């Protein structure tokens, strides 16, 4: 496994692979990898086959963090990440620098962004207004660096995956987007690098996200539910946890992200909950 930091070196390797007929699979990450990330690496390998090449990027992208968010404190452990990537069968780990991805240190020296204007408006887009501009910009740049045939994203970030799929189609990137299932801890909590922020009490209470999904599935199985009424009911369940505070609970069409007034089997649900300063998200099909 090689570690590549220079963009020109990454592009050169990708062009060489393509010339030889090898397909390129790509998994973009911000590092501090867990089993969920590794499942994406293995899915990329499955997509490109044993003769293909799998690239994992590790880059904590500053433009998708708001001014009050955890960019400087975001967990980092490159040595451990490289070991996990090697064990998972990655061929290259791409570790670009801020200076390479965003030349110059001020807005005067970097002023081009990619913006998706429909799917990015609600949920995460409402709670984190500049987030998706940063996501789409960095993913588009990474696509141009890695030149993948296939890119794999996790279903835990459902809205993000939808935005990336729309961007890929709208900008004619010749890339197949695969959305792989969410991996969970034994108690149901979706795997996330931010789980490490939780203290013991918060970690025990964080299962309320998956419990809300389970409760919503149980209720709609019996009869369609008013989305507004179901939101209030689930918000009360979250509020019963001393460390938890609802950011949003949202019901929508899983493909278009259009809000649903009635929740029924097949409706998608997403929620974001704060535990102290740590914000966790989850989603699922009812």
List the catalytic residue out of 34, 37, 109, 131: 37
The crossing angle, in degrees rounded to 10, of helices 227-239 and 208-222 is 150
* Per-residue exposure over 240-249, b if at least 16 CB sit within 10 Å of its own CB, e if not: ebebbebbbb
CA distance 274 to 96: 31
Q: Is 37 a catalytic residue?
A: yes
Catalytic residues: 37
């Amino acid at each position: 496994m090689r570690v590549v930091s220079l963009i020109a070196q990454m592009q050169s390797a990708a062009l060489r692979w393509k010339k030889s007929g090898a397909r390129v699979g790509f998994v973009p990450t911000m590092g501090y990898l867990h089993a969920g990330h590794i499942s994406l690496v293995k899915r990329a390998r499955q997509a490109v086959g044993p003769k293909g090449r799998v690239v994992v990027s590790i880059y904590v992208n500053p433009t998708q963090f708001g001014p009050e968010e955890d960019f400087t404190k975001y967990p980092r452990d490159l040595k451990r990440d490289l070991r996990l990537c090697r064990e998972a069968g990655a061929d290259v780990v791409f570790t670009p620098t801020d200076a390479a991805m965003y030349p110059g240190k001020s807005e005067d020296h970097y002023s081009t962004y990619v913006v998706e204007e429909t799917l990015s408006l609600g949920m995460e887009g409402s709670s984190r207004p500049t987030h998706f501009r940063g996501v789409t910009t960095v993913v588009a740049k990474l696509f141009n660096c890695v030149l993948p045939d296939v890119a794999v994203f996790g279903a835990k970030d459902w809205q993000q995956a939808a935005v990336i799929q729309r961007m890929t189609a709208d900008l004619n990137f010749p890339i197949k987007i695969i959305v792989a299932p969410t991996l969970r801890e034994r108690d149901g909590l979706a795997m996330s690098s931010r789980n490490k922020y939780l203290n013991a009490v918060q970690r025990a209470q964080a299962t309320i996200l998956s419990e809300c999904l389970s409760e919503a599935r149980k209720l709609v199985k019996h009869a369609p539910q008013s989305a507004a009424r179901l939101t209030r009911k689930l918000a009360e369940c979250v509020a019963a946890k001393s460390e938890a505070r609802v950011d949003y609970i949202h019901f929508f069409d899983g493909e278009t992200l259009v809000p649903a007034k009635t929740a029924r089997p097949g409706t998608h649900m997403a929620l974001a909950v704060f535990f102290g300063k740590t914000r966790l998200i989850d989603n699922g099909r009812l």
